[in-house]
């Protein structure tokens, strides 16, 4: 039985939190001392301080998107360049495996879609946001929070890996995981001890909330997003199938596989559109499903929360021009 106040690991989706912080303030802010942009630093620091002051975390980790291409970028190229009616079924090697041979990566000579890149519809990262990342990493270093990423993987994959590792650790059978993110891809990780948590609003999403919101279970999230598509990641779904229809189909047939096995029972344009989209559905599933990487190194003890580094933060906040937060740290 889980105790009333079990130890909790807060897993922060790093770049998602930084982007949200950057766009939380409409006008740019600058340090009166150094002239550097600061609005993302300000909101991110406020988020961390609220987390520590209000929720007293036992463990904290930041999952990081490493620079460079991921295995999904290469996988998406196969998807984007597939011709009409081509079935893209090749299972890509995991990121830690040897690279595929040239023969395995040959693509059909077909026209390229308008936005062939994975996440190709996302806006470019503003220069002023990128300039603030080193300071945010400096703050995380002062807190002693591990920042974990791996080339070839996304932060979501790191979160999935660490979550599974913690849940399977027999030495911590009661620990719960709060994933600090609003990313719907991460809903596939929800479980008895795993929730999504919004530090800014204190909103928490568990399995019950997911069912109320979408009408699916965590095990159905990948199939749900495969049917509906994910505009944020530039993954098209099945034409004419929105969230309500996808939930209804999955409630009735259990999974995407069950839906496809029962196509004759599905009426009208839904069946026709499912048939048309069928060749690329497996690769959409693969793009959405999160990876678990056994090579990611993680020791829960290194993530144990330390006391708030008030004096170090006060000095940094003075440099950045955060007068109110500096005074707060001096009184801490």
Listed as own residue / partner, the contacts of 237-240 with beta carbons closer than 8 Å and 24 or more positions apart are: 237/277, 237/284, 238/270, 238/273, 238/274, 238/277, 238/281, 239/273, 239/276, 239/277, 240/269, 240/270, 240/273
Residues 233 and 102 in one domain: yes
Decide if 293 is inside a domain. Answer: no
pLDDT at 329: 96
Q: How far apart are CA 162 and CA 156, in angstroms?
A: 10
Decide if 41 is inside a domain. Answer: yes
Would you write out the chain's pLDDT as a tens digit for each of its 332 residues? Answer: 455 689 999 999 999 999 999 999 989 999 999 999 999 999 999 999 999 999 999 999 999 998 888 888 877 776 655 544 444 443 443 333 333 332 232 222 222 333 456 554 456 678 899 999 999 999 999 999 999 999 999 999 999 999 999 999 999 999 999 999 999 999 999 999 999 999 999 999 999 999 999 999 999 999 999 999 988 777 888 999 999 999 999 999 999 999 999 999 998 889 999 999 998 898 889 989 999 999 999 999 999 999 999 999 999 999 999 999 999 999 88
Decide if 1 is inside a domain. Answer: no
The CATH number covering residue 79 comes to: 1.10.150.20
Decide if 221 is inside a domain. Answer: yes
Residues 83 and 178 in one domain: no
The separation between CA 48 and the C-alpha centre of its own chain, rounded to angstroms, equals 18
Residues 209 and 273 in one domain: no
Residues 258 and 315 in one domain: no
Closest to 224 measured CA to CA, from 176, 185, 276: 185
Residues 233 and 128 in one domain: no
Residues 171 and 209 in one domain: yes
Measuring CA to CA, how many Å separate 154 from each of 65, 66, 186, 281, 292? Answer: 5, 7, 12, 21, 11
What number of other Cβ atoms are within 10 A of residue 168's Cβ?
A: 9
Residues 222 and 256 in one domain: yes
Q: Positive or negative CA dihedral for 139, 141, 144, 150?
A: positive
Residues 58 and 79 in one domain: no
pLDDT at 119: 58
249: containing domain: 71-117+215-288
pLDDT at 79: 62
pLDDT at 23: 93
Decide if 15 is inside a domain. Answer: yes
Residues 196 and 312 in one domain: yes
Q: How many domains does the chain have?
A: 2
pLDDT at 236: 82
Residues 255 and 142 in one domain: no
């Amino acid at each position: 039985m889980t105790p009333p106040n079990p130890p909790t690991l807060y897993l922060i989706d790093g770049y998602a939190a930084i982007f949200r912080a950057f766009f939380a303030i409409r006008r740019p802010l600058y340090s009166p001392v150094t002239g550097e942009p600061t609005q993302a630093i300000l909101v991110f620091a406020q988020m961390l301080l609220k987390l520590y002051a209000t929720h007293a975390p036992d463990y904290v980790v930041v999952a990081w998107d490493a620079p460079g291409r991921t295995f999904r970028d290469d996988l998406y190229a196969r998807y984007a360049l597939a011709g009409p009616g081509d079935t893209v079924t090749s299972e890509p090697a995991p990121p830690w495996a040897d690279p595929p041979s040239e023969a395995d990566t040959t693509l059909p000579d077909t026209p390229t879609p308008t936005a062939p890149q994975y996440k190709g519809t996302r806006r470019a990262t503003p220069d002023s946001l990128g300039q603030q990342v080193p300071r945010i990493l400096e703050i995380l270093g002062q807190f002693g929070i591990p920042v974990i990423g791996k080339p070839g993987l996304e932060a979501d994959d790191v979160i999935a890996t660490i979550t599974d590792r913690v849940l399977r650790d027999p030495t911590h059978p009661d620990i719960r995981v709060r994933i600090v993110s609003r990313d719907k891809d991460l809903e596939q990780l929800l479980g008895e001890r795993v929730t999504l948590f919004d530090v800014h609003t204190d909103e928490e999403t568990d399995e019950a909330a997911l069912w109320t919101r979408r009408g699916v279970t965590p095990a159905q999230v990948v199939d749900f997003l495969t049917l509906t598509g994910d505009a944020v990641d530039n993954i098209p779904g099945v034409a004419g199938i929105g969230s309500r229809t996808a939930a209804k189909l999955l409630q009735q047939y259990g999974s995407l596989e069950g839906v496809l096995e029962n196509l004759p029972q599905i009426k009208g344009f839904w069946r026709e559109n499912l048939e048309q989209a069928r060749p690329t559905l497996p690769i959409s599933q693969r793009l959405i499903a999160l990876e678990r990487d056994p090579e990611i190194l993680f020791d829960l003890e290194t993530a144990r929360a330390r006391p708030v580094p008030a004096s170090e933060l006060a000095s940094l906040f003075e440099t950045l021009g955060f007068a109110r937060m500096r005074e707060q740290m001096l009184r801490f």
